[in-house]
Structure 1
Amino acid sequence: MTVFVCTACDRSIAGPLTKLPEVPVRPMDQGFPKADGSRRATPTLPLGFFALEPEPWGAPLLPSDECREVFAGGPCLSDPNGDGFLVSAGPRNTVILHPDDASGLQPHPDWKKHSGGCCGFDGQSGMNQLCPCGAEVGTLISECNTAYELHLDPGQVRSITA
């Protein structure tokens, strides 16, 4: 079992969790209304588990000539400043988990800057989740056209084997 702690204050922010060997296939139900009226996708990971995203994930976003997911679990985005598209140049090996496994995190105080969508957080504006100490530790994506998952930044958290 693994616990993730904030590198700024050593507070436990998620866990104990069991590591999966790879990121599960992301559910394809983004944007479809659910029984509760939400349009959020089914969580990528079940409660109590985590996986490492091997691909670059999150901000910063860089121009690209090809239309592909801006980052795993995100949509293809046009570059508003050019003719092409945007792709992630963020860190590799972000820790993906069910958002409820880190329920003590707080949304960024400037959450409107970080939401970006009609239904939730799109993850394109950088980390939007804070440790109670105030350190930015992760990015929640919960927009109707994205996966539903929390990514902890590998530079902002460390793991402890419990």
Structure 2
Amino acid sequence: MEVFECRGCGTALTGPLSRVPFPVYAGIPYGNGVAMPVLMESGTYALGIDLLDPADEGENEGSVLLAPGDAAGTRLIPGRNEGNCCGLDGYGGPNLACAGCGRPVAARIDECSAWQATWLEPDAARRVPAGPPRPVADWASVAGRWRAAALVEADGSRSIRWDVEAAVTLAHLVSAADGAPLALAPGPLAQAFRGLLGQLPPPQARPARRAALAGPGRPLPRPLPDIAVVPRHPQTGEPWPTPPGVAAAPLAAEYWAALAFHDERELAPATGRLPPGVERDDPLPPHPLYAGYLDRWVFRAVLNRLNGVDDTQDDHR
């Protein structure tokens, strides 16, 4: 665990936090005028340097990304409440100052179409140890604990986080296919990704590469696929290890679980009728596997990175 403190006076700017992988879609806007959720889980942080070289841990580590509620010891800077539409966008520089010495230390973001987050400035904050690290869950625990996020919201609207995570995984699938068509295993995987694949240009006329779900708590598909959609460890970012010769297309653990353990069977057969005068007032649950929306910005950014293309247009702060 670490805390971040002001380089100027030592005031604590956060409580104890655990480091997690940097979300590849941080800093990439979503839609137009969309009210966005908080990006980071409370109690965690990520370093922007992860996008460049995870081994580069010098003094200037890159911007520190955390949930807004985890920022402490700060105050808004008067006159720095700029935003294009609905809130703070941080484009004018830090809008939070250290409560101890007044030094600008962070940017609070809550503008529409931007993930809600606080970004600590690398030259204004430093991290110091604050206790032992959080134990890293084994794969069996991951399969049990991170289960399972819905692919749509409770009101039937599209899940923003699923859209961006699906775009990340789709980029891995397309990269692993290397121009060949993708043959998705029937069931939840095909239902979740077939519509997204249909929004891409046609692949080359080559033998298809087979993709299937694999991971902890599931038997290995037989015959082995060319590509396995596997969970991405929420603490380390590492994909579940695939068998030799099988490429991995990682998917966020909670959404992988939603596909891997998806079951639409009723728990008990429905019998009888409602009593006279009784009406249903609860809507039927939305079907969680839908054609979906392809977030092309995220898809392109991840695919370019996998292919070694330097896309300098992406804004990762």
> TM-score scaled to structure 2, two decimals?
0.35
- In the alignment, is residue 145 of structure 1 matched against residue 113 of structure 2? yes
Aligned to 2:42: 47
Tell me which structure has the larger Cα radius of gyration: 2
The gaps in structure 1 that reach 5 residues or longer are 33-38, 57-90
For residue 140 of structure 1, give the secondary structure of its aligned residue in structure 2.
strand
Structure 1 residues 30 and 131: CA distance shift in structure 2, 3 A: farther
Distance 1:116 1:6, change over 3 A: same
| One-letter amino acid of the counterpart of residue 64, structure 2 | V
Q: Which amino acid aligns with 2:75?
A: Q
| 1:122 Cα deviation after fit | 1.0
Residue 19 of structure 2 corresponds to 19
Counterpart-to-counterpart distance in 1, 2:79 and 2:112: 21
* Structure with more strand by fraction: 1
Q: 1:116 aligns with which of 66, 83, 92?
A: 83
Kindly report which structure 2 residues correspond to 1:1-162, keeping only aligned pairs within 5 A, or say none: 1-23=1-23, 25-26=25-26, 28=30, 31-32=33-34, 39=35, 41-54=36-49, 93-112=62-81, 115-132=82-99, 133-162=101-130
Higher RCO (CA-CA < 8 Å; seq separation 6+): 1
How far does residue 29 in structure 1 lie from its aligned partner after superposition?
A: 7.4
| Partner amino acid, structure 2, of 1:95 | V
SS at match of 1:150: strand
How far apart are residue 53 of structure 1 and its match? Answer: 1.2
Post-superposition, which runs of at least 4 consecutive aligned residues in structure 1 deviate over 4 A? 24-30
Q: Which amino acid aligns with 2:93?
A: G
Which residue type is aligned with residue 143 of structure 1? E
Q: Percent of aligned pairs with the same residue?
A: 34
Amino acid at match of 1:46: E
Give the match's secondary structure for 1:13: coil
Q: Which has the larger helix fraction?
A: 2
Give the Å deviation of 1:24.
5.9
- Measure, in 2, the Cα distance between the counterparts of 1:9 and 1:92: 19
Mapped to 2, the partners of 1:107 and 1:30 lie a distance apart of 26
Distance change >3 Å, CA 18–CA 29, structure 1 → 2 = farther
Native 8 Å contact 2:15 2:72 kept in 1: no
**Take 1:28 and 1:116, find their aligned partners in 2: how far apart are those partners?**
16
Change over 3 Å in CA distance of 1:46–1:24 after alignment to 2: farther
Contact 2:12 2:73 in 1 (8 A): no
1:123, distance to aligned residue in structure 2 (A):
1.5
Number of aligned residues:
119
TM-score (norm: length of structure 1): 0.65
For 2:90, the aligned partner's letter is G
